[in-house]
Amino acid sequence: MKQPRSTPRSAPSSIVITGASSGIGEALALLYAAPGVALALTGRDSARLEAVAQRCRTAGSRVDTAVIDVADRAAMAEWLARVDAADPVDLLIANAGMSAGTGDGGETEEQARRILAVNIDGVLNSIHPLLPAMRARRHGQIALMASLAGFRGLPGAPAYCASKAMVRVYGESLRGDLAGEGIGVSVICPGFVKSRMTAVNRFPMPFLMETDAAARLIRRGLERNAARIAFPWPMMAAVWLLALLPPSWTDGPLRRAPRKA
């Protein structure tokens, strides 16, 4: 039977979070850390990742860490298989991602391909090694980190917007495919959240949110098995309006908007 849109999920006891060494990933790891909870965390900076892991252990969690590039399909598959064998995964948060734009003179092919590899292949490499076991157990939850930037292409960040649009639509489609198999899927679409990624922005960021507040919103949405967790609402409304308006009305203003470095 298809899951109702907002069927609540039981509290997860085994959680995988990619991109957990900073930003939203770090905040979610610390939020979920508790006695009886097994956390499996990835990141690209070993020192920052270990610092997060130690704080989670202090909170009572068992923590497994791995310094892996999520774009490395084989390494991700091997690690996730080991994690799931030790503690069958209840919740995967495919959070790892990267951002760059055209503010430093344009987007090169190398930059575009790297963003797409991390933000798209990294998500697929996080989901698919766990799907067969989740299907066999008829239990599990997957959260994909998209962005409000995935609703309308912005001249300042072509590859980033494209990658987040793919993640959003893929997650929405996957939710319907897996609903009858006991697996929940939620797509997370944040606006500007304080992190290492946004710290380099040299332009005003409307409705900039604290990382901890964003993590709490995400957790509440996942507890409800929400299809889409989008915030903050004023930014969400503005982006939806941009997506609805004809490009001939919006291309000019967007071309004059500040560019991401």
What does the alpha-carbon distance between residue 112 and residue 120 come to, in Å, rounded to a whole number? 12
User: Rounded distance, CA 56 to CA 32, Å?
Assistant: 8
**Catalytic choice (160, 170, 192, 231):** 160
**What six digits make up the tokens of 101?**
């734009």
| Token pair 């030790």 in the structure block, residue | 86
- Is 160 an annotated catalytic residue? yes
Q: At what angle do helices 109-116 and 158-178 cross, to 10 degrees?
A: 20
Q: List strand residue ranges (DSSP E) for 200-260, in order.
A: 228-231
Tokens 């319907």 -> residue: 176
Nearest to 150 by CA among 111, 189, 95: 189
Cα 219 to Cα 9, 61, 150, 165, 223: the distances in Å are: 11, 17, 21, 22, 6
The token duo for 180 is: 């009858």
* Peptide bond just before 232 cis, omega within 30 deg: yes
Q: Would you tell me how many other CB atoms lie within 10 Å of the CB of residue 207?
A: 14
- 105 vs 118: CA distance, rounded Å: 22
Active site residues: 160
